[in-house]
Amino acid sequence: MIINAMLATNQKTSNVWGRGRYIMWWISRSRSAVLGILIVGIALLVAAIGPWISPHPYSEQNLSFRMMPPPWTAGGNWRYPLGTDELGRCILSRIIYGTRIAFVVGGGVTLLAASVGVILGLISGYFGGTIDAIVMRLVDIQWSFPYLLLAIAVMAFLGTSLINLILVMMLSNWVSYARTIRGVVISLKEQEFIIALISIGANWPRILLRHILPNCMAPILVLISFNLASIILMESALSFLGLGIQPPNTSWGAMISDARGHMYTSWWLVTFPGLALILLVLGVNQLGDGLRDLLDPRLRGVL
């Protein structure tokens, strides 16, 4: 029995290792996916271990070192690797903390928006009729509102907080999932295997969850990757306008907003948060491009 258990364990380990190597080979076929995974992976690592690698607490003020440039320029100090702001706060520490905020807001909004949009898209596309008309009118109404105007109105009414920020951004992002998944479901339910399932009496939750949803995963994954980039930019824009993350917390958009008055005299205040935002959005977009190329059968032959 012990020998059989050991053989079974070795077989499972071999299967897992084989799947892992196949996934790595599959991803390596797309340079965009590799670059995106590299950038996003480093950013996730920085966000996860931020408190241990941050040289200072993100809100710590030291007025004797205010407006200090990076150490490789005249007047810099290696205690602050990317310089300090007008209150003597460490720019590097605040960028590291801003990475965590970007992923918390981006991940939370993406998860909520994808969940709501996919559920409504599945139901709308499968049942059609009145349900489809109601869901699509909700989509049209939502798309008719400029997201910034909606965000200003909702945040002014509910108040500025992290939860309210995630909710208002979710309201602006679920529609793309609903419309895309609805179109996929409409095409799938005309397929022979779905018609066969209906003819043998399979109930609709089983059909949607066991047979239609797995066939929608490719567009869902691509949508999530591209939507995450737009959400990170949206959060930075709202924080830049003072409607997002509030002090003493910080985000890259708030850091850029605070540096507007010193843009021409203290270049590092804008440059480093801006570069962090550009790199993360670039990485997420590259990941989305790579997933699209890998999951689209029409593009597999050109990779």
- The model's pLDDT over 180-194, given as tens digits with 9 standing for 90+, comes to 999 999 988 888 888
Residue 5 lies in a domain: no
pLDDT at 284 over 60: yes
CATH code of residue 146: 1.10.3720.10
Average pLDDT, the chain: 83
pLDDT at 20 over 60: no
Helices 268-295 and 91-127 meet at what angle, rounded to 10?
Answer: 30
Residue 267 lies in a domain: yes
pLDDT of the residue at 5: 42
pLDDT of the residue at 173: 86
Residue 34 lies in a domain: no
Produce one character per residue of 249-281: b if its CB has 16 or more CB atoms within 10 Å, e if not: bbbbbbbbbbbeeeeeebebbbbbbbebbeebb
pLDDT at 301 over 50: no
pLDDT of the residue at 202: 80
Residue 146 lies in a domain: yes
pLDDT of the residue at 204: 84
Residue 232 lies in a domain: yes
Residue 4 lies in a domain: no
Domain that holds residue 89: 43-56+84-302
Identity of residue 77: N
pLDDT at 272 over 90: yes
- Do residues 129 and 76 touch, judged by C-beta distance below 8 A? no
- The residues, any chain, with a CB within 8 Å of residue 133's CB and separated by 6 or more, are none
In the predicted model, what is the mean pLDDT of residues 273-290?
A: 90
Q: Residue 298 — pLDDT band, cuts 50, 70, 90?
A: low
More confident residue, 235 or 290: 235
Share of the chain above pLDDT 90, in %: 27
Distance CA 277, CA 284 (A): 11
| Across 32-36, 40-44, 122-126, 174-178, least confident range | 32-36
Number of domains in the chain: 1
Residue 92 lies in a domain: yes
Share of the chain above pLDDT 70, in %: 87
Residue 212 lies in a domain: yes
- pLDDT tens, position by position, 236-252: 988 888 888 888 888 89
pLDDT at 177 over 80: yes
pLDDT of the residue at 96: 93
